[in-house]
Amino acid sequence: MKFSPVYLSLLYIFSTLANANDNTQVSEPQEASPSAQESASQQPLEVIEVKGRYIKGYNAHSASGASRLDLAISDIPQSVSVITGAQIRDFQLNDINSALDTATGINVERIETDRTYYTARGFDVTNFQIDGVGLPLTSGNNHADEDTAIYDRVEVIRGANGLMTGVGNPSATVNFIRKRPTADNQVNLSASYGSWDNLRLKADASGNLNDTFAARVVAVKQTKDSYLDRYQTDKTVLYAFIEAKISDDTNLSLSHSYIDNDANGNNWGALPLFYTDGSATHYDRSTNTSADWSNWQVEKQNTVLELSHYFSDNWRLRATYSYKTTDEDTELFYVYGTPDKNTELGLTGYGSEYDLDDKHNLADLYIDGDFSLFGREHQLVFGVNYAKLDYTDSSLYDYTTGNGFPAMPDLNTWDGNTPKPTFADGLRGSDVSATQKAAYFTGRFNLLEDFHLIAGGRYNDWKAEGESYGNIQDVEDAQFIPYLGLTYRFIPELLAYASYTETFTAQRELDVNDNTLAPVTGESQEIGLKSELFNGNLITTLAYFDIQQTNLATLDPRTIDLPPTEQRYIGADGISSRGFEIDIAGEIYPGLNASIGYTDFDIKGDDNVAAYTPSKMFKLAATYDVAFIDGLSLGINMRWQDDIYRSQGVVGDGFENAGEEIITEQKAYSIVDLMAKYDITDNLNIAVNANNVTDEKYLTSLYWAQGFYGAPANYSATISWKL
């Protein structure tokens, strides 16, 4: 598709305005031909006036997390979704859990108030990156209420992403794109107040300090109670990004983010889900297993230094160094056992003090550019990556005072009052260091008109050493991970694609010859169609995927009767999943922006995972600018999942149904959120959000054998002012 210079100029202006979040009307003089220049000096120039917005709704157009190539989403041979800044603002998606709730194919497993797992296509999502750089989560899950205020958007690349991650599962990669200085000077202030005394204040300022320096600063303060008894949080977010234009070709930036989340009354573990007779428990949504002294403080900091240099119009170098730290201090209370249905007794408390110190050093350098070969233009990127992770954690208990393992009263009436243990016994913990060295390359080759090949690979060298709770963590492995993708554009609006890529995870288990097993490999194959409708304002994707996990450590039958220290393992097939996804994002109708996703897949290889993982999910976020009331927007944000269950063992002796299998079920449900926003002036608006308007009662997860209920209907109002 070819565009006139005028159209390209307007496109650039729209992009600039969108990045600056500005609704100002733009006028652009029509380009005059040389023959017309003389007459143009004697008569007014024709003016093209444009009203509207570009990449300001739910259509992000491009994503960088799937490769280092700056490609349009339709040109990426994988399923990609982008949660845009507009969507985050419209529905107050102020933490990453609520943001990822809206992403096609992502299931957010809230196992506790302050600990969350994420799954996609049947596998845990552990690869979380910031501007394309990162390592898998240390423990496979995220702790605390991490804020989205410092991010411009969130990219979700589903399937294996071997080029940019290498280590991990063939599930998805989540890439957070940080806010940077905008083209114009601006200050955005907002204040919101909602159910359970939820107070949130946010300031976001961007400015050009002079011709050389530009900066952006974000600050958030949020305090809130909860529908859960005794649970409350106090969160502080600070973020600063300073950019220096060293020359016309060279930019240098330094940024730092600080997130402090102080939770009190948080749970560790959750509610028991069945009685001794196998019947289901039915607690109030507010019931919490936390003691009144429980607390979980998490402090996260991230410093990023970034250099970019353009050698020419076609070639660029980008180097990034990131230093991330996480400091956690906790005093936790766990409740375990199975209550009696008549007395509600039979549970035991379990106190622990847990501390974590986690450090990441991440460095990435790559060069990308265009080149000509055989009369066609191609793209190439190659780079190197170094990452080092060090973490230590420790756990203490109380085995001596009698307060460490108290008998629990009826949870229905318990107020969290239990003597605080003296945490001085049974010191256990981890001291682990892991290093990843990698080199990668990708080429996008224009083979024929509208037919492209994306081919590349990543060589990963992974090494870990140390000890975790008595288990040796020493392991090392190196693997080459291939990537292959094809795209063919039948017509300007329709493209077909196919891709294959891998990931790997090193294993520590030994075989009968006392050799370490080869890594478990995840293989992801995907084919699909992508379309760009309404002049590119709406992007749709239909994808079919087939994922296999191979060489997963499984106990060798020949050693099953040996002591655990002498047992050995063989590589076997792990989980596999097949299914399809539909993703729609953009402007469906003038003034109607939407993000729609549907996922349907089957899991084989692990009946437990297949049972607790929803295999069908529908996501919808939509806003409509009401035509007959200027400044009014209405919206809906909903998610639906099919039913899930978990086998919890069998009923014990002494009951009529002894030996009967205990099944915990969560039937299919949907959560519906609504919003309304009104622009009082061009710079002032007020918004009202209503969440779970149907007051659905549901378990947030069956990932573990315990669980707790999601929030009931709740409301908030936000006033925003732009200077």
Top pLDDT among 214 and 65 is at: 214
Are 577 and 566 within 8 A, CB to CB? no
Stretch among 87-101, 221-235, 514-528 having the lowest mean pLDDT: 514-528
The domain spanning residue 390 has which CATH number?
A: 2.40.170.20
Q: What confidence category does residue 43 fall into, taking pLDDT thresholds of 50, 70 and 90?
A: very low
Has residue 124 been placed in a domain? no
Residue 194 lies in a domain: no
| Distance of alpha carbon 539 from alpha carbon 493, whole angstroms | 9
The closest of 452, 577, 449, 594 to 76, measured between CA atoms, is: 452
Dist. CA 322–CA 115, nearest whole Å:
24
Residue 247: C-alpha distances to residues 307, 318, 372 (Å): 12, 15, 27
Pick from 202, 199, 330, 200: which is nearest to 263 by CA?
Answer: 330
Whether 380 is covered by a domain: the verdict is: yes
CA distance 397 to 186: 51
Lowest-confidence range among 41-50, 350-359, 385-394?
A: 41-50
Q: Do the Cβ atoms of 500 and 484 come closer than 8 Å?
A: yes
What is d(CA 86, CA 177) in angstroms, rounded to the nearest whole number?
14
Percent of the chain with pLDDT over 90: 69
pLDDT of 67 reads 59
Instruction: Give the confidence band of 722 by pLDDT, cuts at 50, 70, 90.
Output: very high
For residue 312, being part of any structural domain is answered with yes
Give yes or no for residue 8 having a pLDDT over 70.
no
**What does each C-alpha distance from 104 to 191, 483, 596 come to in angstroms?**
29, 23, 8
For the chain, how many structural domains are there in total? 1
CA distance 155 to 178: 11
CA distance linking residue 106 with residue 79, whole number of Å:
12
Overall average pLDDT of the 263-275 stretch: 96
HEC per residue, 371-413: EEECCEEEEEEEEEEEEEEEEEEEEEECCCCCCCCCECCCCCC
Average pLDDT over the chain, rounded to an integer: 88
Separation in Å, CA 258 to CA 149, 221, 240, 681? 12, 12, 9, 33
Q: Domain residues for 526?
A: 255-722
Residue 64 confidence (pLDDT): 62
Contact 620, 666 (CB under 8 A): no
What size, in residues, is the chain?
Answer: 723
**3 pLDDT tier (thresholds 50, 70, 90):** very low
Cβ atoms within 10 A of the Cβ of 630, count? 9
What pLDDT does residue 81 have?
Answer: 92
Q: Has residue 117 been placed in a domain?
A: no
The predicted pLDDT at position 259 comes to 96
* pLDDT beyond 60 at 35: no
Which helix (H) or strand (E) element contains residue 5? helix 5-19
pTM of the model: 0.88
Residue 586, pLDDT > 70, answer yes
**285, part of any domain:** yes
Per-residue model confidence as pLDDT tens digits over 9-31: 333 333 333 343 444 333 333 33
Evaluate whether 710 touches 698 at the Cβ level (below 8 Å). yes
What is d(CA 119, CA 613) in angstroms, rounded to the nearest whole number? 8
- pLDDT, average across residues 637-666: 95
Does any domain span residue 271? yes
- Which residues are within 8 A (CB) of 648 and not within 5 positions of it... i.e. 6 or more apart? 273, 274, 662, 663, 664, 705
Q: How many C-beta atoms surround the C-beta of residue 464 within 10 A? A: 18
Identify the residue whose tokens are 């159209």: 7
Residue pLDDT, tens place only, 526-571: 999 999 988 888 999 999 999 998 888 787 888 877 777 677 788 8
Q: Answer yes or no: is 78 within a domain.
A: no
Q: What is the pLDDT of residues 419-474, one digit of tens each?
A: 999 999 999 999 999 898 999 999 999 999 899 999 988 898 888 899 888 877 78
Q: Please give the Cα distance from 63 to 120 (Å, whole number).
A: 19
User: Is 398 in contact with 353 (CB distance < 8 Å)?
Assistant: no
- Band of pLDDT at residue 503, cut at 50, 70 and 90: confident
pLDDT score recorded for residue 162: 60
pLDDT tens for 158-201 read 988 766 666 678 889 999 999 999 989 999 999 999 999 999 99
Q: Is 97 helix (H, G, I), strand (E, B) or coil?
A: helix
Euclidean distance between CA atoms 134 and 116, whole angstroms: 18
Q: Which two tokens stand for residue 600?
A: 């349907």
Task: For residue 147, give the DSSP letter.
Answer: B
pLDDT given at position 556: 82
Strand ranges (DSSP E) for 406-450?
A: 425-448
* DSSP class of 698: -
List the single range of 132-136, 303-307, 492-496 with lowest mean pLDDT.
Answer: 132-136
Distance of CA 411 to the CA centre of its chain: 34
pLDDT for res 453: 95
pLDDT confidence band for 36 (50 / 70 / 90):
very low
Measured CA to CA, the distance from residue 397 to residue 407 in angstroms comes to: 16
